[in-house]
Structure 1
């Protein structure tokens, strides 16, 4: 019988089969120390050579400066002081129901004209799995219990088809000839991409042309503890998860889809989250309003129902600062329940329901690290 081999110095009580005590790569260890993540090598001495190699490659694949910026930003946002945020100015919000029928009809027609001219694309954020719905499938594939049995993907595809027909009809009545298809960009994740593609193929794209649907994957980011340290999935692998809806900007850039949009003549992008059965995909009124205002970014919002409602709200960062979203878990209870004495509403009442409109120029600027002002439009 072959005798076991002892390699290197004693460890783990000098047990037979100990691993040679070669240290982690010094340069990589120093980089981890710079970002306070050296604990990723905490169990190095217990790893086999193959596991060590796997860990090194896993760490080297991370964009450590970007990850560190995200972690620091997240940690700074916790427990925001009262002086750090202000309510969204009333002038930044416009309620459709309070506008005249002439205005609303003008926005509707303006939006349909832009759609007919091929200037609008739809961007779906669909990287998550339906775990909270009791399924490991992509959220858009899950049967959500509608009498029709339709999935979220089917509902949204059918709404795109409907808007296309409306745009063609209105343009034809006006003597025009535009009838461009709405291109649908669908962001998946490494965990949902294959299943999403197969689902669309199996359902023949729900009546859409296959070449008007483009799938692309968002990135992943390390999972971290409350103090910002990497969580290890195994002793030789950092736990990772999709990088959230905010990952759409870098994903669009890395996949060169911003250039693809420009080539197609797209100027406006309607962006929304998949888990919304009521979403008005490619809403002509929202698009027309957005074009009319000449802004670079906008959002539909709904009034927060009560202080403890678990939904993020739009705020202004400081006096005259940019509009941004503060999650319900980050908002101090005293701020969440504060009342605007003039309106009788909550001071921080405009909820983020992930319904956005962007110009292509704005997406390019954000992808390159720039910011622009935005306006809000409540859901109607």
Structure 2
């Protein structure tokens, strides 16, 4: 049987006959946990330990031609945005979804408001409506939807704002036994859930051909990064990663590497301490992915995702969350690439309250820089 194409009659059969990401797939097909001890079975059962090398060079952002090409694609209505926002604000001491946290230093705008404004501004500039889909979790879906409703969706219309939910997996104690509670299952199944929800087919018919994906905990994310889209088109890539330089060898962030000619992302917990200095580039969690690849990965590759055990602490108790990560699908792209961006412009991760002063300072500095650049352009 040939591979189904996006928008084809076979798409509907896939949606109705195949669950997006069954909770049992790891147990039935893999029978292992992927934890912080090694890089076992990173890609379709291959052991990556010892054959994973640092990415030491890649193209850099700052290309005006790529920016203009991306802007043209956006003006043609080809771009949609996918925000991964299934997390709660518990680690921040915040009651509610992480996206509702008041992140800006002066006006105290929430992360959701900040991203919505960026998308609206890009849409006005391009003369189109740019759709935003938000992946929530069963733990925060109702609260997220209510937050948008109470705030008139921050100006986004019903043609621009959509929601779908990720799944849940049992939490485990330190002996890897079920605790009787469940937590969000990570973002690895985001593409499958997006397809299963019906949004893929809806957006494909609308003309969307590229997705910009980003995480809720990085307020410097640009949901409609035109230059990233331009690089994606120019190189004929189907997955483009926005990379940044690592702050230091101990930074808790995934790194970019290569293995057997493929671009990989390795989680910091899987990186041996002896290798920490070898990897100069970090994964920002921002991607441009072609819609054809979205469908292919959702249909054919979700069952190959390794299951990560992520150690969490809450109320003086430690436990494991079972999660899959979207970046583990990167090796299945026909052509993947990384584009290096200035860290101070695009990356200020907000994981704990200790990060807040630095994040707000980064937002202020970036706002000042944008204002000065815009003012300088008007003078020329």
| Alpha-carbon distance between aligned partners in 2 of 1:246 and 1:355, rounded to the nearest angstrom | 14
- Alignment equivalent of 2:206, drawn from 245, 255, 264: 264
Aligned residue for 2:24? 64
CA contact (8 A) 1:82 1:335 kept: no
Change in 2 beyond 3 A, CA 1:226/1:377: farther
Residue of structure 2 in register with 1:207 after alignment: 155
Matching of residue 116 in structure 1 with residue 56 in structure 2: no
* 2:275 is equivalent to residue 335 of structure 1: yes
Query: Deviation above 6 Å: which 4+ runs of structure 1?
Result: none
CA distance in 2, matches of 1:187, 1:217: 5
Equivalent residue for 1:84, pick from 51, 59, 64 = 51
Q: Secondary structure at the match of 2:282?
A: strand
Task: Flag the structure with more relative contact order, 1 or 2, with Cα contacts below 8 A and sequence separation at least 6.
Answer: 2
CA drift of 1:273 comes to 0.2
Q: Deviations over 1:43-65 (max 9, x none)?
A: xxxxxxxxxxxxxxxxxx97323
Counterpart contact for 1:79–1:332, Cα < 8 Å: no
1:148 counterpart residue number: 107
Does the alignment pair 1:365 with 2:296?
A: yes
User: Among residues 326, 330, 351, which one is paired with 2:266 in the alignment?
Assistant: 326
CA distance in 2, matches of 1:190, 1:220: 8
The residue number in structure 1 matching 2:178 is: 231
The equivalent residue for 1:95 is 60
C-alpha contact (below 8 Å) 2:86/2:184 kept by paired residues: yes
Q: Hey, what's the Cα distance between the residues in 2 that align with 1:145 and 1:285?
A: 25
What is the CA–CA distance in structure 2 between the aligned matches of 1:295 and 1:77, rounded to whole Å?
32
SS in 2 for 1:84: coil
Decide which structure has the larger Cα Rg and report it: 1
Please report how far the alpha carbon of residue 224 of structure 1 lies from its aligned counterpart in structure 2 after TM superposition: 3.6
Match of 1:241, SS? strand
What is the Cα deviation at residue 243 of structure 1?
1.1
**Structure 2 counterpart of 1:248:** 190
> Does the Cα contact within 8 Å between 2:83 and 2:214 map onto a contact in 1?
yes
1:1-380 pair list within 5 angstroms: 63-67=23-27, 69=29, 72=32, 74-75=34-35, 78=38, 83-88=50-55, 90=57, 93-97=58-62, 104-144=63-103, 146-168=105-127, 180-225=128-173, 229-233=176-180, 239-317=181-259, 319-320=260-261, 322-337=262-277, 347-370=278-301, 371-372=332-333, 373-380=335-342
Q: CA deviation at 1:323?
A: 2.2
User: Following TM superposition, by how much is the alpha carbon of 1:68 offset from its aligned partner in structure 2, in angstroms?
Assistant: 5.3
Determine the C-alpha separation between the residues in 2 that align with 1:136 and 1:78.
35
Cα pair 1:67 1:221 within 8 Å, conserved: no
Q: Whose strand fraction is larger, Structure 1's or Structure 2's?
A: 2
Q: What TM-score, normalized by structure 1, do the two folds share?
A: 0.70
For residues 257-289 of structure 1, give each alpha carbon's deviation from its aligned partner in whole angstroms, at most 9, with x where no partner exists: 221221111000000001111111201111111
Residues 349-368 of structure 1, C-alpha deviations (whole Å, 9 max, x = no match): 21112100000011111112
Find the counterpart in structure 1 of residue 328 from structure 2: none
The CA distance in 2 between the partners of 1:62 and 1:79, in whole Å, is 23
Change (3 A) 1:368 1:279: same
TM, length-normalised to structure 2: 0.70
Ranges in structure 1 where 5+ consecutive residues have no aligned partner: 1-60, 98-103, 169-179, 234-238, 338-346
- Render the CA deviation track for 1:164-188: whole Å, top value 9, x for unaligned: 12213xxxxxxxxxxx200101000
Unaligned 5+ runs, structure 2:
1-20, 41-47, 302-331, 343-380
The structure-2 alpha-carbon separation of the partners of 1:261 and 1:186, relative to structure 1 and needing over 3 Å to count, comes to same
In 2, the alpha carbon distance for the partners of 1:111 and 1:275 equals 25
The 3-state SS of whatever aligns with 1:316 is: strand
> Residues 76 and 132 (structure 1 numbering): CA distance in 2 closer, same or farther, change over 3 Å?
closer
CA distances 1:328-363 after superposition (whole Å, capped 9, x unpaired): 1111010112xxxxxxxxx31211121000000111
